[in-house]
Amino acid sequence: MVRYGIIGSGMMGQEHIRNISLLGDCEVAAISDPNDGMRDLSVKTAGGRAKAFSDYKDMLSSGLCDALLIAAPNDMHHEILLDVLDTNLPILVEKPLCTTSQHCRDIMARSESRQAPVWVAMEYRYMPPVQRLLKELADGTVGTPRMMSIREHRFPFLEKVGDWNRMNARTGGTLVEKCCHFWDLMRLTLQSDPVRVYASAGVDVNHLDESYDGKTPDILDNAYVVVDFESGARGMLDLCMFAEGSYWQEVVSVTGEKARIDAKVPGPARFSVDGKERAAEIEISERASKTVTVEEVEVDETVLAAGDHHGSTFYQHKRFRDLVVSGQGKPEVSLLDGLWSVIVGEAAEESARTGQSIELKL
């Protein structure tokens, strides 16, 4: 039995607890959160057996944990990681790794001599339709991937404890906080590092009537971003966070000289009109034959109901659990992957502010 310690038990922490509970050979043994209400709710979500702590440092010294999950607000990751890296426990840290690339580099330097793994939680890799897309690419269906586009048209940022996700200072900015997933997917899919970013973005619709300490939220709610890669491939993001009426929340498209593949992912059931889950789809458009094949991608209903990320959190936890149990191997999503996703997001935020393309370097 793998005993998890949870640091931060807000909305995403709750999703992690529900998914860990589905694994069968894992349990949430300890939960740390300074917020009394969220801490109590998380213990209940975990079945009432977890020991609660208001300070994660007390949890670290309790001896109750075999692995750690960090799901605290983004701007707390750096400080928490510097503390937990001193343990010899496997760590799954929510994205983004940190809110700045410099903080990510700090964590990488601190981890150089560490034996236990640190895995960055990039759930979108593990959505079943995305996994199917990656398999088709590995099988050579499209040939060499030359172009990749990701469209995410979704609901606005949700209310979280203290609404910490309304300001760039705490999140790293939308193109870091939200979109690190997409830069990670682009690097994974195209098997190349990015070299240049250009973004056009704005704060046009969401949260404009809100105020926090006299400040209006400054997180972007829509953007187009173009990313050039070392291989010559290019990627594009189309993000809109006031488009929850869209049937598909994400559409990931990859095109090569042989075909185009589209992975189409619906949004969470709780945001749909009828409250029911929708099936994802894979669409393959072959260049030579001009044929189009469409298939549904099924996901277990229990897994879908455990979170808002189309089952990806569960499948990610299965992989992480296997790594912890084996005691060997490397994380599928490394600290370097986490760093790159923040580097691209930071550059995209800068490009959106300045109107200039930004050259990237590691």
> CATH number, domain at 229?
3.30.360.10
Dist. CA 197–CA 175, nearest whole Å: 12
Percent of the chain past pLDDT 70, that is, above it, reads: 100
What pLDDT, on the 0 to 100 scale, is given for residue 228? 99
Average pLDDT score over residue span 115-124: 97
What pLDDT, on the 0 to 100 scale, is given for residue 277? 87
| 58 domain residue, yes or no | yes
Using the predicted structure, report yes or no on whether residue 89 has a pLDDT greater than 90.
yes
What pLDDT, on the 0 to 100 scale, is given for residue 54? 97
| 93 domain residue, yes or no | yes
My answer on whether 88 and 189 are in the same domain is no
Dist. CA 87–CA 136, nearest whole Å: 40
What pLDDT, on the 0 to 100 scale, is given for residue 274? 83
My answer on whether 95 and 129 are in the same domain is no
Average pLDDT score over residue span 135-152: 98
Using the predicted structure, report yes or no on whether residue 71 has a pLDDT greater than 90.
yes
Dist. CA 158–CA 140, nearest whole Å: 39
What pLDDT, on the 0 to 100 scale, is given for residue 162? 83
Q: Which residues pair with 6 in a beta bridge?
A: 31, 69
My answer on whether 116 and 129 are in the same domain is no
| 231 domain residue, yes or no | yes
| 132 domain residue, yes or no | yes
User: Which of 85, 100, 122 is the last residue before a domain boundary?
Assistant: 122
Dist. CA 49–CA 145, nearest whole Å: 48
Average pLDDT score over residue span 126-131: 98
Domain, as residue range, for 164: 124-308+334-359
What pLDDT, on the 0 to 100 scale, is given for residue 156? 95
What pLDDT, on the 0 to 100 scale, is given for residue 161? 84
Percent of the chain past pLDDT 90, that is, above it, reads: 94
Q: How many domains does one find in the chain?
A: 2
Average pLDDT score over residue span 104-123: 97
Using the predicted structure, report yes or no on whether residue 29 has a pLDDT greater than 90.
yes
My answer on whether 234 and 248 are in the same domain is yes
| 318 domain residue, yes or no | no
Task: Provide the whole-model pTM.
Answer: 0.96
128: number of Cβ within 10 Å: 21
| 324 domain residue, yes or no | no
Average pLDDT score over residue span 204-221: 94
Mean pLDDT of the chain: 96
What pLDDT, on the 0 to 100 scale, is given for residue 349? 99
What pLDDT, on the 0 to 100 scale, is given for residue 356? 99
| 239 domain residue, yes or no | yes
Using the predicted structure, report yes or no on whether residue 119 has a pLDDT greater than 90.
yes
Residue type, 272: S
Complete DSSP assignment for 106-118: HHHHHHTT--S-E
My answer on whether 59 and 141 are in the same domain is no
pLDDT bucket at 276, cuts 50 / 70 / 90: confident
My answer on whether 44 and 140 are in the same domain is no
My answer on whether 144 and 244 are in the same domain is yes
Using the predicted structure, report yes or no on whether residue 65 has a pLDDT greater than 90.
yes
Closest CA to 91 of 261, 110, 298: 110
Average pLDDT score over residue span 211-235: 96
Dist. CA 74–CA 25, nearest whole Å: 29
What pLDDT, on the 0 to 100 scale, is given for residue 142? 99
What pLDDT, on the 0 to 100 scale, is given for residue 9? 93
My answer on whether 117 and 138 are in the same domain is no
| 35 domain residue, yes or no | yes
